[in-house]
Chain A
């Protein structure tokens, strides 16, 4: 249960085509993350799978059945919304039981499942409260509880953590990953946060302007980005891009080197520059180095770098981690010398 295939799916709002023809296969039990900048169509794609939007053309199959015309209520998918979308007039218990009530399940079985879900999600003490009396993290858990009780074919998450503060976000990220481990149900997760994508996904789908730029495991995307967009989007801090003569020396229109693949030296190296701002994170230091004729380079150094604002430094790229791109942004797939 939980295999989803999109075949030549398109979506247009009036004259504006937001999803050009798109194919995608999501395997049973996979944790798939749709990631991309805002407005890239990732939420629209999720809503098409949910059935909340109608496709303009193409077909959506769920477990081998054509579900293109099936209303959302009948697709057997559960969704967790960005705003949680809890029913404010119902208690937590009734919120979680709502899908079971809609399915006309036996009340005793409903109660058993709600109790079990509440236990997993640490909500047992809050079952009789209203959503308005809960904190953001608790509301999020209720929304997840409402999704899991149905034992759906797949879970859809629409930026579920973006309303939470940073510390809570990390916690919930772990909880959702843990949930995926224990349920082994297909999950589709939409986010604009590449850290969430990297840490949670089995498979990442990078989207831009409704098009799939690349599909792969987090490490595939990190190591072998298909193009300059993916290279720049995945990884933090962002990959450095260098164009012009320097790039031509490596036989490319543009070269890219991640901050962690730059070697810093005070004596010699490929590029000579001056240290600008240094950000000390404790475990790492990010240096922003200005090199004449190039955009500022970000360099990541483990621990303390021992250089200061205004110091002259040399930077060398690690050859095997250098990425080369053609003028159209596509990666050049050959090992560099």
Chain B
């Protein structure tokens, strides 16, 4: 069934959609613009939008004051490491829940998700003490472990909904065709699940990249990722908006580029299973 939509209505909806889009994008745009201003211009009132003296001095200063590349590599290692470790645990877990469900599988899934409802600060002290005792404070290994655990419920859920969409009969057909469990995984399930695994991977890299609570609280200098790099430019006094903006722009640029190129994959991953 199609509905007739008048041109006026179409125009109105277009304007609203653009307005919402710009409202969401504006803070990022403003951050990028501010990063090219001087500190004085950054706090000027009324603020100037584009007609100011464009400068790169903030970027120069940020690069002199801290080691961007170290933080960048930390972010890459922590986000990729925690995602890959998470996938290695979640693929077999989601598999068994999707294809050999037990009586309590639904409860296990709900319980896993419920751990995401707990405010992280509630377990900060025990985790901090554990990290201290095991010598994991300010280490990449420590952050990989904690971010894996934080995002594991989401990884399992995403893969579970994705695997659920794969008809069980195809796996049974593979079994009838003489495939053992391993061959069934390699030749049939994995190739069919690649899009789902890819979008899960992307989403979790982004989540881990942006995670700030644990990365700020459990690192000092050596293992600090880009989130800590940004935070280090926020200070209780003095002018810091422009430098903070420059640091933020540097920190979000890589993930923005990744997100841009994988939009299609991401949207598909997030809405998968919503419409049959």
Give the shortest distance, in Å, between A337 (CB) and chain B (any CB).
Answer: 54
Cβ of B191 < 8 Å from any Cβ of A? Answer: yes
Cβ of A56 < 8 Å from any Cβ of B? Answer: no
Give the shortest distance, in Å, between A216 (CB) and chain B (any CB).
Answer: 29
Binary interface encoding of chain A residues 37-77 relative to chain B, with 1 for a CB under 8 A from any of its CBs, else 0: 00000000000001110000000000000000001111001
Stretch of B10-18, B42-50, B114-122, B177-185 contacting A (4+ beta carbons < 8 Å): B177-185
B178 interface neighbour in A81, A88, A99, Cβ under 8 Å: A99
Cβ of A27 < 8 Å from any Cβ of B? Answer: no
Name the interface residues of B171-213: CB closer than 8 Å to any CB of A: 172-180, 183, 187-188, 191-192
Cβ of A249 < 8 Å from any Cβ of B? Answer: no
- Docked pose: A235 CA to B150 CA in angstroms: 63
Chain A contact residues, CB within 8 Å of chain B? 50-52, 71-74, 77-79, 81-83, 85-89, 98-99, 102-103, 146, 150
Contacts of A78 in B (CB 8 A): 176-177
* A50 engages B188 (CB within 8 Å): no
Cβ of B130 < 8 Å from any Cβ of A? Answer: no
Contacts A50-B176, A81-B173, A85-B167 known; 4 new A-B pairs at CB < 8 A: A73-B176, A73-B179, A74-B178, A85-B169
Contacts of A71 in B (CB 8 A): 175
Cβ of B170 < 8 Å from any Cβ of A? Answer: yes
Give the shortest distance, in Å, between B200 (CB) and chain A (any CB).
Answer: 18
Give the shortest distance, in Å, between B193 (CB) and chain A (any CB).
Answer: 10
Contacts of A85 in B (CB 8 A): 167, 169-170, 172-173
* A73 engages B175 (CB within 8 Å): yes
* A81 engages B169 (CB within 8 Å): yes
Question: How many Cβ-Cβ contacts under 8 Å join chain A to chain B?
Answer: 59
Provided the pairs A73-B180, A78-B176, A102-B177 are in contact, do residues A83 and B169 lie with their beta carbons within 8 angstroms? yes
* B172 engages A52 (CB within 8 Å): yes
* B178 engages A83 (CB within 8 Å): no
Binary interface encoding of chain B residues 75-88 relative to chain A, with 1 for a CB under 8 A from any of its CBs, else 0: 00000000000000
* A81 engages B175 (CB within 8 Å): no
* Residue in chain A with minimal CB distance to B166: A88
Contacts of A79 in B (CB 8 A): 172-173, 176
Interface size on B, residues (CB 8 A): 17
- Docked pose: A4 CA to B146 CA in angstroms: 55
Provided the pairs A85-B167, A87-B188 are in contact, do residues A72 and B176 lie with their beta carbons within 8 angstroms? yes
A52 interface neighbour in B175, B178, B187, B188, Cβ under 8 Å: B175
Provided the pairs A87-B188, A89-B191, A89-B192 are in contact, do residues A146 and B169 lie with their beta carbons within 8 angstroms? no
A81 interface neighbour in B172, B180, B192, Cβ under 8 Å: B172
SS class, residues of chain B in contact with chain A: helix
Chain B contact residues, CB within 8 Å of chain A? 167, 169-170, 172-180, 183, 187-188, 191-192
B176 interface neighbour in A77, A82, A86, A87, Cβ under 8 Å: A77
Contacts of B169 in A (CB 8 A): 81-83, 85
* B172 engages A98 (CB within 8 Å): no
Contacts of B167 in A (CB 8 A): 83, 85
Contacts of B176 in A (CB 8 A): 50, 52, 72-73, 77-79
* Residue in chain A with minimal CB distance to B194: A89
* Residue in chain B with minimal CB distance to A101: B187
Give the shortest distance, in Å, between B102 (CB) and chain A (any CB).
Answer: 12
* A102 engages B183 (CB within 8 Å): yes
List 3 tightest A-B contacts by C-beta distance, closest first. A102-B178, A85-B173, A99-B177
- Docked pose: A98 CA to B173 CA in angstroms: 10
Identify 22 residue pairs between A and B in the complex whose beta-carbon atoms are under 8 Å apart, listed by A's number: A50-B176, A51-B175, A72-B175, A73-B175, A73-B176, A74-B178, A79-B172, A79-B173, A82-B169, A83-B167, A83-B169, A85-B169, A85-B172, A85-B173, A87-B173, A87-B174, A89-B191, A89-B192, A98-B174, A99-B177, A102-B177, A150-B178
Contacts of A102 in B (CB 8 A): 177-179, 183
Contacts of A87 in B (CB 8 A): 170, 173-174, 188, 192
* A88 engages B175 (CB within 8 Å): no
Most A CB within 10 A of own CB, among B167, B178, B187, B192: B178
Give the shortest distance, in Å, between A149 (CB) and chain B (any CB).
Answer: 10
- Docked pose: A146 CA to B170 CA in angstroms: 13
Provided the pairs A85-B167, A87-B170 are in contact, do residues A73 and B178 lie with their beta carbons within 8 angstroms? yes
Give the shortest distance, in Å, between B232 (CB) and chain A (any CB).
Answer: 47
Give the shortest distance, in Å, between A95 (CB) and chain B (any CB).
Answer: 9
- Docked pose: A87 CA to B180 CA in angstroms: 16
A103 interface neighbour in B173, B178, B191, B192, Cβ under 8 Å: B178
Give the shortest distance, in Å, between A87 (CB) and chain B (any CB).
Answer: 6
* Residue in chain A with minimal CB distance to B168: A85
